[in-house]
Structure formats: C-alpha cells, structure tokens
Structure 1
Amino acid sequence: MIDVNGLLELAIKETENLLEGEIFLVKELFKGYEWNRIPRNDRLLLGTLFLNHVNKTGGSIQVIEKTSSGQQKYKASVQNSM
C-alpha cells in the first residue's frame, strides 16, 4: 500500500535540489520506475496535494501553465539557503 502523504513529503523534499528558474512536473521529482509503480489514482491525488501545498505555502515554487496533456507545470523560484 502506497502512502500518498509520504510521497508528497518526498516530492517536497526533492524540490530542494532544483535550480532557480527550473521548470518541472511532479512526476519528474521521482525516478521513472518509482513514478510508474504509483497507481494512477494515487498519482492524481499526489498532484492535487502538491498543488495545494504550493498554493498554501507560497514558498520557492510557483504554479505556471499546464502542459497540452493537462499536467501542471511548476517553476522553482529563489532557493532557500540553509
């Protein structure tokens, strides 16, 4: 059983590796085989949860246009320094 909240945390953590101005899809935050192993319903839920997280926190990720296939695109803004 896949824990979608755990996947969300992994995706959020992976955004720390993005460069400023980099454009990405949520699926690109996972290795290809990892993404393919996530059931479609869970991938859709993960996408919704990630979008809600970005809209709620307003951090270093901004929502941009969708792809022609309806996937939400994001852009990494100024990186937080830690």
Structure 2
Amino acid sequence: MVDVNQLLDEAIKETDNLQENEIFLIRDLFKGYVWNRIPVKDRLLLGTLFLNQVNRTGGNIQAIEKTSSNQQRYEKICK
C-alpha cells in the first residue's frame, strides 16, 4: 500500500538535490522502478498535491508549462 503523503514528502526533499534553473517532472524525483510501482491513481494524486504545495508555499520551485502528454513541468529557481 502506497502512502501518497509520504511520497509527497520524499518528492519535496528530493528537490533539494536539483540544481538552479533545472527543469523536471515529478517522476524525475523518483528512481524509475519506484515510480513504476506507484499505482496510476496515486501518481495523479501525487501530482495534484505537489502542484498545490508548490503554489501554496511559493518556495524555490515554480510550475511552468505542461508537456504534450499533459504532465506538469517544474523549474527550480533561485530565491
């Protein structure tokens, strides 16, 4: 059973390892096999929660455009 709040915490912590101006998708914050083991419904929920967290905190992560497959892209900015 996957705890989406725990995954959200892990994703937020992993953003500390990104370089300034680096563009990423949420799936980039997880190892491939870990991401593939997360059920699709939980991935969608994780995406929504991550976007809400980014918009609410106004930290050094900024939502930018979506990809052609409708995945939200983010950028780590300097604050």
Question: Shorter-chain-normalised TM-score: which range?
Answer: over 0.9
| TM-score with structure 2 setting the length | 0.98
Counterparts of 1:58 and 1:68, CA distance in 2: 25
Query: 3-state DSSP class of the match of 2:5?
Result: helix
Q: Work out the percentage of aligned pairs sharing the same amino acid.
A: 70
How many residues were matched structurally? 79
Gaps of 5+ in 2: none
- Residue in structure 1 matched with residue 77 of structure 2 by the alignment: 77
TM alignment of 1:2-81, pairs within 5 A: 2-78=2-78
Write out the 4+ residue segments of structure 1 that deviate beyond 2 Å after TM superposition.
none
User: Could you tell me which amino acid in structure 1 is paired with residue 17 of structure 2?
Assistant: N
| TM-score with structure 1 setting the length | 0.95
